Amino acid sequence: GEIFGYLFSRGMGMHGLQSIDRDVVKMICREYDVEVIDADPTRVEDMARKKEILDEEDLDSLEDRPPVLTIMGHVDHGKTTLLDYIRTSKVVASEAGGITQGIGAYVVPVPIDGKLQTCVFLDTPGHEAFGAMRARGARVTDIAIIVVAADDGIRPQTNEAIAHAKAAGVPIVIAINKIDRDGANPDRVMEELASIGLMPESWGGDVPVVQVSALKGDNVDELLETVMLVAELQDLKANPHRSAKGTVIEAGLDKFKGPVATFIVQNGTLKKGDIIVSGAASGKVRALFDEKGNLVDQAGPSIPVQVIGLDNVPIAGDEFEVVSSLDAAREKAEACAESLQKDRIAAQAGYGKVTLASLASAVSRGTSGLDVHQLNIVLKVDVQGSIEAITQALRVLPQDNVSLKFLLQSPGDVSTSDIDLAVVSEAIILGFNVKAPGPVKTYADNKGIEIRLYKVIYDLIDDVRNAMEGLLEPVE
């Protein structure tokens, strides 16, 4: 009430559900002499990475760059249809006769106030690709478009997509799709969104929601405009006047061209003839192609470009950068191969691994000056009903030493995308009456992620409680 009064006195009268932006939060905190910190560690990590892409000396030469977008959502909710509609209506139409070759991303012109602005779509819809990139430390996407079918509502993969976007600190725009269908009930979807903390803007919240028909193209322009507005608020900038760095989004071996890779330039401008290094691959840029297969001379910030000239196939999600000489490139590539080897050994030795046992021993030692540890949990269960039962039981455990944070609660077997989420958020995976298929287990082992599977709810609760109290015995 006091804060409302304060805001009112500053001419910012507001009602209950309205959200306030960071600057206003800072202003209030100054007034009440309270320090502001960003409490979500995954967000802080992402901000750090964003800073890493921009160097100190870039700050004087920053220019606007186009937003990079990813479409996510439950299977069959219309991700591909939406992408196809955008691609065919916006890209191919503007390029009569051009043959589009998939390079993993494409540039879309969007008319805003009569002017054409650019946005960039990543071509592989779905949170699996998003999670895999993030697990490699890549942060390419600026905005996530989450598609929810109006006749089906929020489903498990919708939740997973939202969890991935949130963990990455990426703003979300919701597209309620299939509004042309007979059974469409967009209001119910709005209610579901509100119930999981994504309050639609039209209801006073801060999540933009646009109702579309990807099949007919209805309101897709409005969706793109909304996305561009969100992008504008994000103040996306880079310095085009420097040597390039960015992320590999796709890579493979072409029969004729040799190793080919698609890069998204995140800072600087990539030019033909530049010497590049990405992970253990290096070389000189022999040719650059855009998504229409046209040869181009250069690619600036946010622009995807296919690159030929590397000596090896790099890995999607890895960074690339331009260096001054081939020798420097080879040196970096070798150093990278070495450190990869070290990481692998460390992961196998379980170094730095988050497990219930390591939590228990940290609690019992009372280590690291941290008063409260946080245990991040990805919870996979057999049926929706189990989620409520388990989270309720866990939430009532005393959280004096350890606070619990659920990154994702979702029905279904453990998947590699769950592991990726656990990697970036340093989480453990708890499963109740679900399986972790062999390849998923191997993947988890390689990434140093603990999966604990239970058949009895009380066993699960007991283990977590014991770990939180520092009492869990290590198991072999």
Using rule CB under 6 A, residue 89 touches ligand GDP: no
Using rule CB under 6 A, residue 78 touches ligand GDP: yes
Complete DSSP assignment for 77-102: SSHHHHHHHHIIIIIITTSTTPPP--
When the beta carbons of 218 and 331 are compared against ligand GDP, the nearer one is 218
Question: Quick one: residue 13, left, alpha or beta (phi over 0 = left, psi -120 to 50 = alpha)?
Answer: beta
Using rule CB under 6 A, residue 245 touches ligand GDP: no
Closest CA to 329 of 280, 289, 288: 280
- Give the nearest distance from C-beta 79 to ligand GDP in angstroms: 3
CA 145 to chain centre: 11
From 68-76, 127-135, 322-330, 449-457, span contacting ligand GDP (CB under 6 A): 68-76
Alpha-carbon distances, residue 381 vs 29, 163, 260, 320, 463 (angstroms): 41, 16, 40, 38, 17
When the beta carbons of 193 and 261 are compared against ligand GDP, the nearer one is 193
As to burial, measured by CB atoms within 10 angstroms (0-12 exposed, 13-18 middle, 19+ buried), residue 298 is middle
- Give the nearest distance from C-beta 215 to ligand GDP in angstroms: 3
Rounded distance, CA 252 to CA 281, Å?
12
Work out the angle between the directed axes of helices 384-395 and 457-468 (0-180°, nearest 10). 30
Binding residues for ligand GDP, rule CB under 6 A, total 16
Using rule CB under 6 A, residue 80 touches ligand GDP: yes
Place of tokens 């890895």: 318
- Give the nearest distance from C-beta 135 to ligand GDP in angstroms: 22
Place of tokens 């002017």: 115
- Give the nearest distance from C-beta 214 to ligand GDP in angstroms: 4
- The H or E element spanning position 23 is helix 22-31
Binders of ligand GDP among residues 115 to 154 (CB under 6 A) are 125
When the beta carbons of 79 and 245 are compared against ligand GDP, the nearer one is 79
Rounded distance, CA 319 to CA 15, Å?
45
- Give the nearest distance from C-beta 126 to ligand GDP in angstroms: 8
- Give the nearest distance from C-beta 89 to ligand GDP in angstroms: 14
Q: Which one among 31, 38, 76, 459 touches ligand GDP, defined by CB under 6 A?
A: 76
When the beta carbons of 190 and 359 are compared against ligand GDP, the nearer one is 190
Using rule CB under 6 A, residue 77 touches ligand GDP: yes
From 175-183, 277-285, 350-358, 439-447, span contacting ligand GDP (CB under 6 A): 175-183
- Give the nearest distance from C-beta 217 to ligand GDP in angstroms: 9
Using rule CB under 6 A, residue 180 touches ligand GDP: yes
Using rule CB under 6 A, residue 185 touches ligand GDP: no
Binders of ligand GDP among residues 325 to 384 (CB under 6 A) are none
From 176-184, 393-401, 438-446, 457-465, span contacting ligand GDP (CB under 6 A): 176-184
Residue 92: count other Cβ atoms within 10 Å of its Cβ.
15
When the beta carbons of 148 and 377 are compared against ligand GDP, the nearer one is 148
Using DSSP, state whether 45 is helix, strand or coil: helix
Q: How many H helices and E strands in the chain?
A: 14, 21
- Give the nearest distance from C-beta 123 to ligand GDP in angstroms: 12
Rounded distance, CA 19 to CA 272, Å?
47
Using DSSP, state whether 255 is helix, strand or coil: coil
Q: Which one among 214, 260, 362, 407 touches ligand GDP, defined by CB under 6 A?
A: 214
Angle 404-413-155 (CA atoms, 0-180°, nearest 5)? 80
Intra-chain end-to-end CA distance of the chain, in Å: 54
Q: Which one among 28, 194, 215, 389 touches ligand GDP, defined by CB under 6 A?
A: 215
When the beta carbons of 215 and 326 are compared against ligand GDP, the nearer one is 215
Using rule CB under 6 A, residue 213 touches ligand GDP: yes
Contact yes or no for 375/358 (Cβ under 8 A) = no
- Give the nearest distance from C-beta 78 to ligand GDP in angstroms: 3
What are phi and psi for residue 193, nearest 5 degrees?
-60, -45
When the beta carbons of 73 and 246 are compared against ligand GDP, the nearer one is 73
- Give the nearest distance from C-beta 42 to ligand GDP in angstroms: 26
From 114-122, 178-186, 398-406, 418-426, span contacting ligand GDP (CB under 6 A): 178-186
Using rule CB under 6 A, residue 79 touches ligand GDP: yes
From 74-82, 99-107, 129-137, 435-443, span contacting ligand GDP (CB under 6 A): 74-82
Using rule CB under 6 A, residue 177 touches ligand GDP: yes
Alpha-carbon distances, residue 345 vs 179, 332, 363, 372 (angstroms): 51, 20, 26, 30
Contact yes or no for 264/105 (Cβ under 8 A) = yes
- The H or E element spanning position 9 is helix 2-9
When the beta carbons of 179 and 265 are compared against ligand GDP, the nearer one is 179
Return residues touching ligand GDP (CB under 6 A): 73, 75-81, 125, 177-178, 180-181, 213-215
